[in-house]
Structure 1
């Protein structure tokens, strides 16, 4: 097939997406496809291609810190222009499949998917409505809670000058809590907070950007993640943390945390986590043609709580979905082929 792989983009996960894109391109070439790798936010959008079987495909290393987004508006202008006209849109329309390896921002909140839908382009992963539903953690948790997926109490707060809302103060007093952007990915800007003074520092960091925070109790138990590909639920992965939270640096630096698949847990807990992940996948509108990864953390009593559902989980060499696929007996190229097949069947 002729496949265009979209990666990069304008979000804090830009480097993660570039790493995913190169990995996906290599896997597609290994499976016999012709691939063009495109970063719609780049000055020169076509990064490589057409790549054909037998061609060498480079990799991309993710840095220890998310990149600065001082140029985000410029990246967005380039991205919008590339996806709505000109040679990039022609490439997308001419492809037999578009593999969306974008993470965060417009790539995961439904913007890119909506543009591709309007252009009549076939693409991998969830559609715009499901992406939008999953992207805003506050609204997603409300839907999940109504569907019977356990979620922690949470308060949404857009820091401005003035007092901290009483509900936030109450959670901190019962603390500790976790404060994170309500719409972001790859654990960017996730903070454990033990006091109001610490919370004030976090609020000051995000105030100028107008970021809305989600504040929820810190869950001290074990952390798990479960991936769903189509209608198939993959083995549970346990994330063995050496830090209070699974942040950006821990996610993308090899050896920073332990990741065990299948998780060494009782069969009953594994089945429950898998059932909850499939329920979350469906509750947010993910169909049999999509894939997702649902993250859980247990409370002090060992009860798993859903943290979020990822519409476009990472596909780097250290990402959790490929690890779960390995636990299911799939190769990395086999996983990528399955994702393509879901979108083209």
Structure 2
């Protein structure tokens, strides 16, 4: 097939996107496809034309555009199938504050939160106990994520995110270990346990993308009942958000064995050593197999009536 590999973009996660695209391109070529690279940052105006000239698009974008559903909507307009979720599910999942409302509606435990669309006064205090995590509401890869231990540091953390043009979501720190669980098609994959080696104590940007900064253990060495619950919650969140193809849900596993759903990623990292590919490998998928399966699922989704 003629495949348009869409990567790059202009979000703060551009370099992560381009890094993953190199491995995807190699896998696509090994599968016998003809690949054309497309970077929205340099040629967004040509996306509809490029998509119309290809049989399939493989999206490897992080942040906006891509995870916000804009590229998917344009591909739909061009009649070009693609892997993963459509515009509506992508948009809902990217917005953490909105996604958490949907989690609560479907009985999925998620940490309390405060959503801030504008920067509050310097003396403002949230009705949450410290320590707190201050996050970009629509950003990913843990960019802009900071732990705040007192009110004295809160305003600076908020200001740093608002200066990027995004909104803010604040959550209390939930003690425990980080667990992530992918969904592929209609099945949940074996979870991964993430153990940061850095001094951050949580899975920040450095821990995600610095070799040796974190240990990722798959399948996660956790009780069977916790694995089953992580898989159930990942599938429930996937369906509640209206997603398709694949996704990855991130959790905190507290000392009492309870899972707390943080967010769901609709375009998870796709290097051969990224979290979801590790989970797929645990059930027998090589990286090339995984790429082929995502294309198969994307084509099948495009053939279903909307």
The TM-score, its normalising length taken from structure 1, stands at 0.83
Which of 182, 186, 193 aligns to 1:231? It is: 186
Instruction: Give the match's secondary structure for 2:194.
Output: strand
Corresponding residue of 1:262? 219
Residue 282 in structure 1 maps to residue 239 in structure 2: yes
2: CA distance between counterparts of 1:220 and 1:274?
21
Matches within 5 A, 1:58-207: 78-79=43-44, 81-84=45-48, 89=49, 91-160=50-119, 162-166=121-125, 168=126, 170-171=127-128, 174-207=129-162
Which of 319, 326, 334 aligns to 2:274? It is: 319
Corresponding residue of 1:35? 35
Residues 185-223 of structure 1 show CA distances to partners (whole Å, capped at 9, x for unaligned) of 111111111001111221232333443111111111011
Residue 11 to residue 286, structure 1, CA distance change in 2 (3 Å): same
Residues 131-178 of structure 1 show CA distances to partners (whole Å, capped at 9, x for unaligned) of 001010000011011111111100012453624544x1x31xx22111
> Structure 1: where are the runs of 5+ without partners?
43-77
2: CA distance between counterparts of 1:93 and 1:340?
17
Q: Which moved more, 1:218-227 or 1:115-124?
A: 115-124
Q: Is the 8 A contact 2:144 2:161 kept in 1?
A: no
Residue 297 in structure 1 maps to residue 261 in structure 2: no
Residues 39-62 of structure 1 show CA distances to partners (whole Å, capped at 9, x for unaligned) of 1213xxxxxxxxxxxxxxxxxxxx
The TM-score, its normalising length taken from structure 2, stands at 0.93
Aligned residues: 298
Shift of 1:300: 4.5
Corresponding residue of 1:337? 292
Shift of 1:102: 1.1
Shift of 1:235: 0.6
Residue 245 in structure 1 maps to residue 245 in structure 2: no
Corresponding residue of 1:47? none
Residue 161 to residue 136, structure 1, CA distance change in 2 (3 Å): closer
Shift of 1:121: 1.6
Root mean square deviation of aligned Cα = 1.5
Which of 198, 205, 213 aligns to 2:168? It is: 213
Residues 257-283 of structure 1 show CA distances to partners (whole Å, capped at 9, x for unaligned) of 000000001111100100100000000
2: CA distance between counterparts of 1:318 and 1:164?
43
Residues 73-131 of structure 1 show CA distances to partners (whole Å, capped at 9, x for unaligned) of xxxxx42x1224xxxx2x32121111111111111111111111122221111000000
